[in-house]
Amino acid sequence: MTTLGSLIVSFFRNYLANQKGFAANTIASYSDCIRLLLSYSCERLGVNFDKLDLDMITDELILDFLDHLEKNRGNAPATRNQRLGAIKTFFRFLALQEPTATAVCERVCAISAKKTEHKVITPLDNTEIKAILGSAQTSTGTLQGARDQALLLTLYNTGARVQELVDAN
C-alpha cells in the first residue's frame, strides 16, 4: 500500500496541478483544507502524522471534522461545503490510486453538502459605478490617477475579478 504522504504529494503535484490544471489559489485552498483535516485527524486519533494511515481516515471522522469546522473554527456552511468539495476531490483521487480504499472513498463522496442560502448578487447601478470611479484617486492629471482609472475601467468593462487582473501579464 502506498503511504499517505506520497499520495498527498502526488495529489497536489501531479493530479491537481498537471492533470486538472487547477489555479495556484485553488491548490492553496485545497492544501489548507487537507492540512486542517490531517491535523484534526492526528489530534482526534492521538497519533503523529507519520503513524497516520489511510484506513484511519473514515467517513465518520470526516463528518466530525466538518462539524469541528463549523462549531470550533466558526466556519459558515458555505465554507464547510467548499472544504467538503476539496475532501471529495482528494478521496476520488485516492480511489483511483488505492482500489482497496474504494469503499471508504464512496462513503466520503456520498456526504451531502449543507443547504445554504444563496445570495443574489445584484449589479451596480450607474450612480454606484460613478461613485466607485470617483472615490479612487482617479485624477487623470497624474500618472497614478491615470493608472487607477484604467484599472477600474478595465475591471468594470470586462467583469474580471481583481485577482484575474493581477495575474494578467
Which whole number is the average pLDDT over 153-164?
Answer: 86
Which residues, in sequence order, are CB contacts of 57 under 8 Å at separation 6+? 37, 41, 104
- DSSP H stretches of helix in the chain: 4-10, 24-45, 59-71, 77-97, 102-109, 126-135, 143-158, 162-167
Instruction: Output DSSP code: residue 73.
Output: S
Distance, in Å, from the CA atom of 85 to the CA atom of 79, rounded to the nearest integer, reads 10
Residue predicted with more confidence, 145 or 49 = 49
Q: What is the average pLDDT score of the chain?
A: 88
Evaluate if residue 64 carries a pLDDT over 90.
Answer: yes
pLDDT digits (tens, 9 = 90+) for 25-48: 899 999 999 999 999 999 999 999
Cell of 57: 481516515
Identify the band that residue 136 occupies on the pLDDT scale cut at 50, 70 and 90: low
Q: Taking Cα atoms as reference points, which of 46, 37, 34 lies closest to residue 8?
A: 34
Mean pLDDT confidence for 152-165: 86
Is the backbone of residue 120 left (phi > 0), alpha (psi -120 to 50) or beta? Answer: beta
Question: How far is it, in rounded angstroms, from Cα 156 to Cα 162?
Answer: 10
The percent of residues above 90 in pLDDT, for the chain, comes to: 50
Residues of the chain with pLDDT > 70, as a percent, come to: 94
